[in-house]
Structure 1
Amino acid sequence: MHILAFQSGLHDASAAAFEDYRLVAAIAEERLRREKGWGNDIPWLAIDEVLHIAGWSRGDVDAIATIHGVFPLHYFRFSPMREFYYKTRKVLGHERLKRDLSHICTRNHTSDASRFFRADRFLAENGFRPETKIFFANHHAAHALAALFHTDWNDALIYTADGIGDNISYSVRTLRKDRLDVAFGDDSLLAKPRPSHDSLATAYGYATRACGFQMWRHEGKLTGLSARGEATLAEAFAQHFRISDDGLVVSDFKSTRVMGEQIMALCKGHSRENIAASIQKVAEDFILLSVRHWIDRTDTRHLAIAGGLFANVRINRLLAEALPIDEIFIFPAMGDDGVAVGSGLNLLLARDGLATWLAHRQRLENVYFGRDYDDAIDRCFGNAPNMRRIDGDPAAVATGFLCSGKAGAIYAGRMEYGPRALGARSILASPAHADINDTLNARLNRSEFMPFAPVVLEEDAERVFDITSVNRYAARFMTITCAVKPEWRSRIPAVVHVDGTARPQIVRNADNSLYADILWRFRSATGLPVLVNTSFNVHEEPIVNRPEECLQALNEGRVDFVVTRNAVYAKGPAMPSLFWVPVSASSGAGSGAGISLGKSSDPRRPSLP
């Protein structure tokens, strides 16, 4: 079955294509429209992109999976009186062109979206076959299923948390003895008045706004700032929240608007650092209490989480280290962009039943689900003026640049799905000097309060970071922080936060051989098994997607070079293909030594010099 899945919520719209249980392609609309966080409409560019990657037309789609999202008004079915109301507003110039299907269901006290959505019109107008079926998924079910599907556990707690989705901000599901039970957060709540305005993610967002940043965009800045402040406001924030008898986070805020007003008022006169530390502590404390309640109640040893709140890597670390669990997994596209994949998995669950669905689960190998531009980028750079292709082994040439203090982008293979750059559209640099954070952020027009993230080979991960069986899977996708071993903190300062932690990505050769080869060569040359990995984008722009965007970044001096699977490119005159890199005594490889980084006889691993 060819399945098209998409989410058209208020932000982070995205699309995915499945061939039965195989995820063929997935991408957020923002990468194509070049507008960060784009949403509030149908992601047609992303839809056509995943269909192109899959090799399908719209007419090839057998089923469509989506959520109760935002759609143009004419796809809704209304009563004659409401139809007259909207036509009158159109005549008066006050037409609302789009509506949120979730809100319509709640207003009409039903979870049956088919009562209001004109599927026949949607299919006919957009080139789909009339017999194509449309399935609507619950927002939090989509989050939960995306996380659960990519595990192999027999028992699990699946916990989701975000701003709001289908009238709620949390959901709890348990997998045990081949049963998947919903403890809280199913579609029945979509048809009821919202019980409370209890979202810790929304409270975190208002604190972000109080610090002068953009709500729903810059919460990560507060996560970084939180380690630099004192939690002086934590008690004032916390008095509005509590854990209910059934283990859920609830609040006394009468509305989301009131929540915002009160949090903004509490923050007046306080430093950004203290606001950040306070809201971080409150979010950590209450989520830990809630999740611990359910871990204890269900006696499970595995935790799968998703939803926008779990973009907070410090919360994820706390859950991994404070709970009696064997493993944690955070779906890498934990925000609403991941709901597209979850809605497709929801369709498969409805089609096949739980036993078959569980049997098809598999651990996530990588998140490279975008388009592969390897050939196109070489054509693009080859036709560009003042651009030089540097011959030689790309990994060797790139390593030479990195060892000489240059920062470069790796642009190779299919683009990552989700918010993290994981070696397909990443910027790499040496971690040996802390000032790279300032210089590179200036080149990228960024103002960040966390150091860059490190990438490390799997074989080196445990000797540099506190990697355990609990957090290893999550660390492959840069979704969790952990402590840096004390003996390494002064050697890789560019990736160590003020609290001694880092947000590592563990990479294997099978995941991305070029990425792994550069790491291996850099370790051989410097004694440092870590590189800086930051996303290949300028501040407030999405991660680079097309070759032309990559070329523009290089021309603007955002990076010094670009490495692809076929070559390395840099501005200016041609450079030699062989680098001799001096290695300092502090690297552990000998003082004044020269290391050849030429081609290796083994393309997977160069021999040690």
Structure 2
Amino acid sequence: MSYILGISASGHDASACLYDGYHLIAAVPLERLTRVKSEGGRVPTEAIKEVLSIGGIEPRDLAAVALSRSHFPIRYFKHDGFPLAHRVRRGIETMTGGARTVPMAKEARVGSQADVGKIFHAEKFLRDQGLPEETPLYFYDHHFAHVLPTLFHSPDWQDALLFSADGGSETGYYSMRYFHDGRMDTVIGGEEMLFKDHPVSSLALAYGFATLALGYKINRHEGKLTGLAARGEPKGFEALRARFKVESSGEISTSFGTNQEMSAMIHTLAAGMSPEDMACTIQKLVEVVVMESMERMVKLHPTRHLGGSGGLFANVRLNQVLADSGLFDSVFVCPPMSDQGIAMGGVLQYLLERDGLPTWLGERRVLSDMYLGRDYTTAVDEVFGSHAQISGVSGDPIETCVDAIIAGDAVGIFTGRMEFGPRALGTRSIIAAPVEAGINDSLNARMDRSEFMPFAPVILEEHADEVLHLPPQSRYSARFMTITCQVREEWKSRIPAVVHVAGTARPQLISRDSNPLYYDILKAYYERTGIPVLVNTSFNVHEEPIINTPAECLKALVEDRVDAVVTTQGFYRAKAKQVAK
């Protein structure tokens, strides 16, 4: 056994994961344990303990720990050999409690030390996390960790562009790796950026600034703009596009001197147009600039495969544009494309350096699912069965669930292990019939949400081509709900709850081997209605993470967030609801 712990201590979406060699055993976002949406900015101690517990191992069993180069408390840094003024300032800050955390990259730059391990008190850090002090500690590259899972989980690729784009890391806003001829070349965003100023160029930040300008939260509500975009006109596009440039190398640059200047322009534009038009403006900017960059990159670095990750690739519409461009035969977006996912990529980066590329490539495998949290399959029925306000409904859970869905109910599904990543994929989902568009408003009201994107459809994989115009290059990503595609005309009126105003849907394709209960419910619904589609939306109320435990599921049912809950063993309603029925 060779257990490796991966840790993302990013400013948002912190997480931990556990591998046994090249096999991913467990992965958990910090937010699911603390119930604080997108929590980060600290070491995810709770997630570390959770993945070790899921794996059934002790800290002493770890062969290595892979850690992000994030912000850490000052006490973890060694300042021997640093400039005197810096040592004095950090010493005062430590004694007075000021500047509690500092970016590792900044300390490395001040100390002129590329090997960040030499300025970090590994023993202190490991001890504080309850890990043996002698455990090898490996520091990984944020952007490289974003994209490595896309290559590792695409075993058929013999060449590919691996593109990461987000709001910034220790090596900038973008990276591009070119995998070809059995080697990995860094095109942009390599280690040299650790010691360079990062030019203002981030499309992800621009999108975030537009999100803020419309009154939403950055790093959380960008999807609202993606949903709004089809309802507007790109009235500010030309003005904003004039500030962005794609170099002959394919790199993206701007004429902004600072991010504050970029933000100010976007806020000014937003103040002069409708939210729909601003959303359309920023969406078109992202699509046009990224496409121009990709066209140039492909000419310089020939390939027909694209792996994408980082916050910008949470934009499902952008991912469709890339897939439909004709440039690629396959586009795979890492399912946990946010900073949650770099914990996975960090371990894969460690393994790559430890074993070398040929061995690493030989271990590649298809990603079958993202069910990586704790399994509460038995516990959930014990919790529901013993609660005074809950009643089990007699009969087969699957048929009873389908009866309820046909009758118009919204049913929570709780089965197996919690999903890793931002999408609910059928173990902590709410499912409903897709035949009435009104389900969007009624369910969003019950969950205290405000959304402009319709719910996503879960579709029987064997019937996907009947319902969707889903090109082969999008099919893998569609298993994880990270891309949109067009809905066939004859189906738009039959499943309006999952069709966007643009005629698109963000599907999840499901097969029985990955989630039997989820599949069997959908299959039974199809056999009775002729519709191989259900609504799938995340099982959470507004501004809370997706549920994790049976207690959180129970609370949702008692509070009438859903009409019922289905598990592997039972179908449950609140007693008051059952009497009303």
| TM-score, with length taken from structure 2 | 0.97
Inter-partner Cα distance in structure 2 for 1:105 and 1:286: 32
Query: Any stretches of 5+ residues in structure 1 without a counterpart?
Result: 580-609
Offset, 1:525: 1.3
Query: What aligned pairs does 1:247-326 form with structure 2 within 5 A after superposition?
Result: 247-326=250-329
- Given candidates 508, 511, 534, the residue that maps to 1:508 is 511
Deviation per CA, 1:262-290: give whole Å up to 9, x if none: 21122212110000000000000001111
Give the superposition deviation at 1:382.
1.5
Query: 2:462 aligned with 1:466, yes or no?
Result: no
Measured after TM superposition, the shift of residue 5 of structure 1 is: 0.5
Secondary structure of 1:449's counterpart equals coil
> Do the aligned partners of 1:162 and 1:201 also contact (CA within 8 Å) in 2?
yes
Which residue, 464, 478, 481 being the options, matches 2:484?
Answer: 481
Q: What's the CA shift string for 1:453-480, capped at 9, x where partnerless?
A: 0000011100101112111101000000
Q: Secondary structure at the match of 2:458?
A: strand
Match of 2:76 in 1: 75
Residue 260 (structure 1) shift? 1.1
State whether structure 2 residue 14 is matched by structure 1 residue 13. yes
Shift of 1:73: 1.8
| Structure 1 residue 110: Cα displacement | 4.1
The letter of the residue matching 1:163 is G
**Aligned partner letter, 2:361:** L
Pairing 1:122-133 to 2, within 5 Å after superposition = 122-133=125-136
Structure 1 residue 323: Cα displacement = 3.1
Q: Could you tell me how far apart the structure 2 residues matched to 1:455 and 1:10 are?
A: 32
CA contact (8 A) 1:452 1:495 kept: yes
Moved more, 234-243 or 387-396: 387-396
Q: Find the counterpart in structure 1 of residue 137 from structure 2.
A: 134
Aligned to 2:46, the other structure's residue is in SS state helix
Query: Is the 1:159–1:291 contact (alpha carbons within 8 Å) kept by the matching residues of 2?
Result: no
Residue type at the aligned position of 1:37:
S
CA deviation after TM superposition for structure 1 residue 107, in Å: 4.1
Bigger mean CA offset, 164-173 vs 226-235: 164-173
Q: Deviations over 1:346-396 (max 9, x none)?
A: 000011000000000111000001110011111111121121112332211
Q: Give the equivalent residue in structure 2 for 1:220.
A: 223
Equivalence for 1:584: none
Q: Distance in 2 between matches of 1:71 and 1:385?
A: 46
- Distance apart, 1:122 and its partner CA: 1.6
DSSP 3-state at the match of 2:544: coil
Q: Deviation at 1:180?
A: 1.2
The reply to whether residue 178 of structure 1 matches residue 182 of structure 2 is: yes
Q: Which digits, 9 at most, give the CA deviation of each residue in 1:64-104, with x for residues without a partner? A: 0011012222111124654432343455x451211221232
2:453 alignment partner, SS class = coil
Secondary structure of 1:136's aligned partner = strand
Match of residue 245 from structure 1 = 248
Contact 1:388-1:573 at 8 Å conserved across structures: no
Deviates more, 1:23-32 or 1:53-62: 53-62
Matched pairs, number = 575
Which position in structure 2 is the counterpart of 1:30?
Answer: 31
CA distance in 2, matches of 1:127, 1:69: 20
Aligned residue identity for 2:365: Q
Q: Deviations over 1:42-77 (max 9, x none)?
A: 000100000001111222212000110122221111
Change (3 A) 1:89 1:173: closer
- Distance in 1 between the 2:321 and 2:140 partners? 30
TM alignment of 1:91-170, pairs within 5 A: 91=95, 93=96, 95-152=98-155, 153-170=157-174
- How many Å apart are 1:324 and its aligned residue? 2.4
Q: Which residue of 2 aligns with 1:50?
A: 51
Question: 8 Å contact 2:71–2:103 — kept in the other structure?
Answer: yes
Aligned residue identity for 1:343 = G
1:206-239 CA-to-partner distances (Å, cap 9, x unmatched) read 0111111111110000000000000000011111
One-letter amino acid of the structure 1 residue matched with residue 33 of structure 2: L
Aligned counterparts of 1:211 and 1:106: Cα–Cα separation in 2: 36
1:30 is displaced (CA, Å) by 0.4
Q: Distance in 2 between matches of 1:409 and 1:88?
A: 53
What is the match of residue 431 of structure 1?
434
CA contact (8 A) 2:45 2:129 kept: no
**Distance of 1:109 and 1:171 partners within structure 2:** 22
Question: Compared with structure 1, are the counterparts of its residues 190 and 231 closer, same or farther at alpha carbon in structure 2 (3 Å cutoff)?
Answer: same
Partner of residue 415, structure 2 = 412
Q: Distance in 2 between matches of 1:90 and 1:133?
A: 26
| Distance in structure 2 (CA, Å) of the matches to 1:109 and 1:396 | 65
1:554 aligns to 2:569 (yes or no): no
* Equivalent position amino acid for 1:191 in 2: F
Counterpart amino acid of residue 519 in structure 1: L
For residues 548 and 306 of structure 2, the distance between their equivalents in structure 1, rounded to whole angstroms, comes to 33
Structure 1, 169-178 or 14-23: larger mean CA deviation = 169-178
CA deviation string 1:510-559 (max 9, x = no partner): 11111111111111111211000000000100000011000000001000
Q: In structure 2, how many angstroms separate the alpha carbons of the residues matched to 1:74 and 1:408?
A: 49
Amino acid at match of 2:549: R
- Paired residues of 2:211 and 2:221 also in contact (CA < 8 A): yes
SS of the residue aligned with 1:470? helix
Deviation digits for residues 319-347 of structure 1, max 9, x if unmatched? 00013211110000001100000000000
Map residues 392-411 of structure 1 onto 2, 5 A cutoff: 392-411=395-414
Are 2:268 and 1:232 equivalent residues in the alignment? no
Say what the alpha-carbon RMSD is for the aligned residues: 1.5
> Partners in 2 of 1:89 and 1:22 — Cα distance?
42
**Contact 1:6 1:14 survives alignment (8 Å):** yes
Are the equivalent residues in 2 in contact too, given 1:388–1:574 (CA < 8 A)? no
Quote the Cα distance in structure 1 between the aligned partners of 2:123 and 2:241: 49
Work out the CA distance in 2 between the residues paired with 1:170 and 1:89.
32
C-alpha separation in 1, matches of 2:105 and 2:75: 16
TM-score normalized with structure 1 length: 0.92
Is this contact kept in 1: 2:563–2:577, CA < 8 A? no
The CA distance in 1 between the partners of 2:194 and 2:394, in whole Å, is 59
Cα deviation per residue 1:407-430 (whole Å; 9 max; x = unaligned)? 011100001010000001000000
For the residue of structure 1 that corresponds to 2:500, the secondary structure is coil
- Is the deviation greater in 296-305 or in 94-103? 94-103
Which position in structure 1 is the counterpart of 2:88?
Answer: 84
Letter in structure 1 aligned against 2:16: A
CA contact (8 A) 2:52 2:58 kept: yes
Give the 3-state SS of the residue equivalent to 2:469 in structure 1.
Answer: coil
Separation of aligned partners in 2, 1:90 and 1:299: 51
Give the direction of change, closer, same or farther, for the CA distance of 1:136–1:535 in structure 2 (3 Å limit).
same
Letter in 2 for 1:71: F
Could you say what secondary structure the match of 2:454 adopts?
coil
Give the secondary structure class of the aligned counterpart of 1:442.
helix
Mapped to 2, the partners of 1:550 and 1:253 lie a distance apart of 47
- Rounded Cα–Cα distance in structure 1 between residues aligned with 2:255 and 2:148: 30
1:530 aligns with 2:533: yes
Q: CA deviation at 1:148?
A: 1.1
Please say if residues 8 and 44 of structure 2, whose CA atoms lie closer than 8 Å, have aligned partners that are also in contact: yes
Question: How far off is 1:313 after superposition?
Answer: 0.2
Is 1:11–1:40's contact at 8 Å kept on the other side of the alignment? yes
Change (3 A) 1:109 1:163: farther
SS in 2 for 1:169: strand
